[in-house]
Amino acid sequence: MPHISNKGKSMPQSPIRKLVPFAEDAKKRGINVFHLNIGQPDIKTPQIALDAVKNNTLEVVAYSRSEGSEEYRTKIAGYYAKNDIHVNADEIIVTTGGSEALLFTFGSIMDAGDEIIIPEPFYANYNGFSIASGINVVPVISKIENNFALPPIEEFEKLITPKTKAILICNPGNPTGYLYSKEEIKKLAKIVKAHDLFLIADEVYREFAYDGSEHYSIMQENDLGNHAIMIDSVSKRYSMCGARIGCIVSKNKEVIATAMKFAQARLSPPTYAQIASEAALETPQSYFDDVIEEYVSRRNTLINELQKVEGVTVANPKGAFYCIAELPVESADDFAQWLLEKFELNGETIMVAPAAGFYSTKGLGLNQVRIAYVLKREDLIASVRILKVALKKYNS
């Protein structure tokens, strides 16, 4: 029988999606499942984006340019300018989601066996993208006790070897909700310049910054120039996860030219999704004001409720719409599956994402879960009530 590749065997399952069959079975048994496991907002997509697709007059759905349409890239540059990020259309490549942007970036700047330093816990698919690209993740550990703040700069410098090519951050962070300060970005900028590395920032949650904090982009560091690569996406900003449109942004001409070869190899990003994404750029600020207010309310509700549950520790997120909670269990994997297979409270249960999959260091995060507060407040309150009862029953 033909063999599966070692790379294929090494590809991790998604901690976010691997429990889906158990959730589907629970639903078939008539159980209502509250989905706290995935960052799929229930916020309505801006009507202007939906209407752009509905009302378009295309007669042929043709290939677009490999780097994305010039009109869309020019408008993206205009959106960035409003956020004090000054780039032009030629410094942007439109991709099929932020996922493809990361894969193109890894392929453009690293060879098999090279290393990338990432503060953990981190977005689980960074593990998968690294394995797919044949590169090694070198984690620098951030801790729940410090609210997942950036580890000391010395911790990064200790990990740099001749094989190190980049540092990757997610800002604000998935799964922690941590928002990097301007000072922290400047410290990272100093390191990558001193060691001639790339600084990659996944900034797909840029708008989601709370408590009066402001997001500071690596692209606002004027002297970072050739070192900075920004990853972006429309998925969360406009509640358009299914559009699958993202982009790579860099002032490094060689990076853009190389990523362009990967873009040409996959032909072009999807046409209808670009139409929707271009229209979404006209979304009024009032939409974001309302969305931020809603997420702050949801965050406050979730954190307040979790803090009442005995044995639960939770970090307070300053951005995005996730938090990491430490539970009084040995295996969050087993607990998460048990919630779907063997537990219900008045015909309801919850689905969470075990956090071990957001670490690359074995043995970390085993008793942690990521919770996405993408549900309305009453559903979050109900979910924590279910969690409280479930923990008592599971531990008994």
CB atoms within 10 A of CB 297: 14
pLDDT in tens, 71-92: 999 999 999 999 999 999 999 9
In a domain, 228, yes or no: yes
74 and 143 fall within a common domain:
yes
Q: Which of 280, 300, 321 corresponds to the end of one domain? A: 280
Spatial contact of 94 and 234, defined as CB atoms under 8 Å apart: no
Could you give phi then psi for residue 127, rounded to 5 degrees? -60, -50
175-203: pLDDT as tens digits: 999 999 999 999 999 999 999 999 999 99
CATH of the domain at 92: 3.40.640.10
Other Cβ atoms less than 10 A from the Cβ of 26: the count is 22
The burial of 270, by beta-carbon neighbours within 10 Å (0-12 exposed, 13-18 middle, 19 or more buried), is given as: middle
pLDDT at 278: 98
pLDDT at 15 over 90: no
Full residue range of the structural domain in which residue 369 is found = 6-44+286-395
* pLDDT score of 18: 82
Whether the model clears a pTM of 0.75, i.e. scores above it, the answer is: yes
Last residue of some domain: 228, 262, 280?
Answer: 280
- The reply to whether 1 falls in a domain is no
Last residue of a domain, one of 228, 246, 280: 280
Token pair 């951005």 is found at: 319
Per-residue tokens: 331: 């295996």
Q: Are residues 192 and 273 in the same domain?
A: yes
Contact yes or no for 241/28 (Cβ under 8 A) = no
| Confidence class for position 361, pLDDT limits 50, 70, 90 | very high
Which CATH number fits the domain that encloses residue 37? 3.90.1150.10
Reported as a pLDDT band with limits 50, 70 and 90, residue 350 is: very high
Compute the distance between CA of residue 218 and CA of residue 395 in angstroms, rounded to an integer.
45
Same domain (yes/no): 16, 130: no
| Angle between the N-to-C axes of helices 332-341 and 20-28, in degrees from 0 to 180, rounded to the nearest 10 | 20
**Alpha-helix runs per DSSP H in 177-270:** 182-195, 253-265
Flag whether 326 is in a domain: yes
Residue 136 predicted with pLDDT over 80:
yes
Lowest-confidence region among 4-18, 208-222, 255-269: 4-18
Tell whether 39 and 104 lie within a shared domain. Answer: no
Kindly state whether residue 263 falls inside one of the protein's structural domains: yes
pLDDT at 106 over 90: yes
210 with 235, same domain?
Answer: yes
Do 263 and 339 reside in the same domain of the chain? no
What number is the average pLDDT over the span 130-142?
A: 96
Alpha carbons 205 and 160: distance in angstroms, whole number: 28
Q: How do residues 311-320 score in pLDDT, each as one tens digit? A: 999 999 999 9
Q: What integer best gives the mean pLDDT of the chain? A: 96
> Of the given ranges (15-19, 79-83, 116-120, 250-254), which has the lowest mean pLDDT?
15-19
Is residue 39 a part of any domain in this protein? yes
Angstrom distance (rounded) from CA 177 to CA 317: 4
Same domain, 12 and 68: no
249/291 same-domain check: no
293 shares its domain with 219: no
Q: Are residues 150 and 194 in the same domain?
A: yes
221 in Cβ contact with 228 (< 8 Å): yes
pLDDT at position 150: 87
Whether residue 176 is contained in a domain is answered as yes
Residue 184: closest CA among 155, 208, 144, 225: 155
302: in domain: yes
Helix axis angle for 377-395 and 285-307, nearest 10°, is: 30
Coil, helix or strand at residue 198 = strand
Q: Which residue has the tokens 């797919």?
A: 132
- pLDDT tens, 290-337? 999 999 999 999 999 999 999 999 999 999 999 999 999 999 999 999
Angstrom distance (rounded) from CA 383 to CA 345: 10
Does 244 share its domain with 330?
no
Task: Name the band, by pLDDT with cuts 50, 70 and 90, for residue 220.
Answer: very high
pLDDT tens string 34-60: 999 988 888 899 999 999 999 999 999
Do residues 234 and 124 share a domain?
yes
Are the CB atoms for 348 and 31 separated by under 8 Å?
yes
With contact defined as beta carbons under 8 Å apart, do 247 and 95 qualify?
Answer: yes
Name the residue among 372, 355, 328, 333 with its Cα closest to residue 177.
372
* Domains identified in the chain, total number: 2
